[in-house]
């Protein structure tokens, strides 16, 4: 029997639909998530199946509809709310940072906030400085929020199902470049086998996408795809790169990171978020704390320099890590 293939966007929508069928407390709200199916396809088909009482198109008022989701979650519902671009978080900063993240703590554990805030991240398609950021490091810095960043259709479905069932607030970041959208640059890894039945992927379990012995590449999301392409090129030159997809940043699988570095003795972090004060620095701090004596070379990171994402395609390509730049960074690390 042939494997059933889904794009990442369809895998996300299927996970949501199955959880809505299983649990009547699950509902979805956000901009253009109904008849339009979300501009990145994450809610496609849900309105037809569940109707406007459970799939709610909202006005362009991020503070309003994210605040409504927080309130519904505290009353026992399980809302999934879509923030169209993560770049728009500023319009709802108080609801996310001070309410969604902290109500459980400030109520002494008496009030849960079981909700999913999903949002689109990433560039490489000339959408400029206000529609191309990743920013997951910013939210991972705030206690109280679980951070999920899938890279494949299989992971997208399993992690979304887990997120909906979790009793904590979860931010679920999907990259436009891994959604399998026809208007994006073609990405063969954005379509893969996804089981029909519901399944979960536990948070805090990284996935070794490719085993290797000469260096470890730590990354998430679209950069997993580019790192795998880079690893293939490195293999042609006799270098063996281990590529680890972290999948979740909070909780973070420190054990898999450290064990890989102890095996390969070199580490490169590839990140589409900004260089300073973000994921790349946190990961290298973990390596320094727990695996420093195993390193044969100083750890390196390749990330977006501290500049807004340019609109110009050549300039955008210059700041976001590419396959060739990952290859060059890995070779320099091994040869150092």
Active site residues: 131
- At 116, is the secondary structure helix, strand, or coil? strand
Q: Which of 28, 37, 31, 36 lies closest to 10 in space, CA to CA?
A: 37
Cα-Cα-Cα-Cα torsion 69, 73, 77, 83, nearest 10 degrees, comes to: 30
Please count the other Cβ atoms lying within 10 Å of the Cβ belonging to residue 114: 22
Which residues face 119 on adjacent strands? 83, 173
The encoded tokens of residue 37 equal 């199916």
Upstream peptide bond of 251 is cis (omega within 30 degrees of 0): yes
Angstrom distances, CA of residue 24 to CA of 11, 56, 175, 297: 20, 15, 28, 53
Sheet hosting strand 146-148, strand order edge to edge: 55-57, 26-30, 78-85, 116-121, 170-175, 146-148, 248-250
């Amino acid at each position: 029997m042939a494997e059933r293939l889904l794009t990442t966007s369809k895998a996300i929508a299927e996970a949501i639909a199955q959880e809505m069928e299983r649990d009547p407390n699950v509902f979805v709200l956000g901009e253009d998530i109904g008849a339009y199916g979300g501009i990145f396809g994450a809610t496609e088909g849900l309105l037809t199946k569940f109707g406007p009482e459970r799939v709610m198109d909202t006005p362009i008022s991020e503070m309003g509809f994210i605040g409504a989701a927080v309130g519904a979650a505290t009353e026992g519902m399980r809302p999934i709310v879509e923030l169209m671009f993560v770049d728009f978080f500023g319009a709802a900063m108080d609801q996310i940072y001070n309410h969604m993240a902290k109500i459980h703590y400030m109520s002494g554990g008496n009030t849960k906030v079981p909700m999913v805030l999903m949002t689109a991240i990433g560039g490489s398609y000339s959408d400029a400085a206000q529609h191309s950021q990743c920013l997951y490091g910013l939210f991972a810095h705030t206690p109280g929020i679980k951070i999920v960043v899938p890279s494949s259709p299989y992971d997208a479905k399993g992690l979304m199902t887990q997120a909906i069932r979790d009793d904590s607030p979860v931010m679920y970041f999907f990259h436009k470049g891994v959604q399998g959208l026809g208007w994006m640059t073609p990405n063969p890894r954005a379509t893969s086998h996804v089981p029909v039945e519901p399944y979960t992927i536990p948070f805090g379990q990284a996935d070794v996408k490719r085993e290797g012995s000469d260096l470890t590449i730590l990354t998430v999301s679209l950069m997993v795809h580019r790192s795998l392409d880079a690893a293939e090129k490195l293999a042609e030159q006799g270098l063996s790169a281990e590529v680890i997809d972290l999948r979740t940043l909070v909780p973070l699988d420190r054990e898999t990171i450290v064990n890989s570095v102890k095996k390969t003795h070199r580490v490169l972090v590839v990140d589409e978020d900004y260089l300073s004060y973000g994921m790349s620095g946190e990961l290298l701090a973990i390596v320094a704390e727990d695996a420093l004596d195993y390193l044969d070379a100083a750890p390196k990171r390749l990330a977006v320099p501290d500049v807004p994402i340019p609109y110009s395609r050549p300039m955008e390509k210059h700041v976001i890590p590419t396959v060739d730049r990952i290859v060059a960074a890995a070779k320099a690390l091994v040869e150092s």
